Structure 1
């Protein structure tokens, strides 16, 4: 089965051997997004809520570039640097996404220095 690489200038360019997203048939996977400050290209200097909103905006931009939106998300994965940030992340997440929420897995991991959250998504494109 062939695939399409998804790319948009509205999300950070890859800094390694990966693409922003890939679509195979109706399925699209968006790579993990940490919040990037578009003016500096560095990780956004914000609390976890601010970083969550920015990371979700970047995922949304990649979804849109592939012909999908949050309503098409089959699964969202959130990686947090600290369990203590769950409530603030969840509140920011609720500001951006609306019910019915897609299934979500949230785990605590070691992230890049300065990153408090990373978000990726799997969507089924219309």
Structure 2
């Protein structure tokens, strides 16, 4: 196993890694809308989702992959009433690629975030 850490994504806020690679598989921790410096992104669900994807891309790049290598994601949201707006950003960032996905409404997320996404990806040749 290899610990993955990118300076282009926020440091973890607990005792865990940004991602772990095992063989050709990459397992990211949930990414929330924090900038690389650790500042909260406030604003619309679209703004927060964009930052989450920026973080995911940074971690995946560090691990030798990209969004194109993602096979599965889990999306956690505090308000499924914002699903359509999150989904717009999701579709734009993945383009024609369509990984498997689960979306779950939760009572709360760390730092007051409204969205958190984790991913499982393959390293790309």
TM-score, length of structure 2 as denominator length: 0.93
Q: CA RMSD in A?
A: 1.2
Partner of 1:26: 24
Contact in 1 for aligned 2:10/2:35 (Cα 8 Å): no
Q: Is 2:69 aligned against 1:72?
A: yes
Return the alpha-carbon distance in structure 1 between the equivalents of residues 26 and 92 of structure 2.
23
Residue number in structure 1 paired with 2:98: 101
Distance in 1 separating the partners of 2:13 and 2:40: 13
Please list every run of 5 or more consecutive structure 1 residues that lacks an aligned counterpart in the other structure: none
Match of 2:118 among 109, 120, 124: 120
Moved over 2 A (4+): none
Q: Which residue of 1 aligns with 2:79?
A: 82
| Contact 2:60–2:67, Cα closer than 8 Å, also in 1 | yes
Aligned counterparts of 1:4 and 1:37: Cα–Cα separation in 2: 24
Partner of 1:58: 55
Number of residue-to-residue matches in the alignment: 123
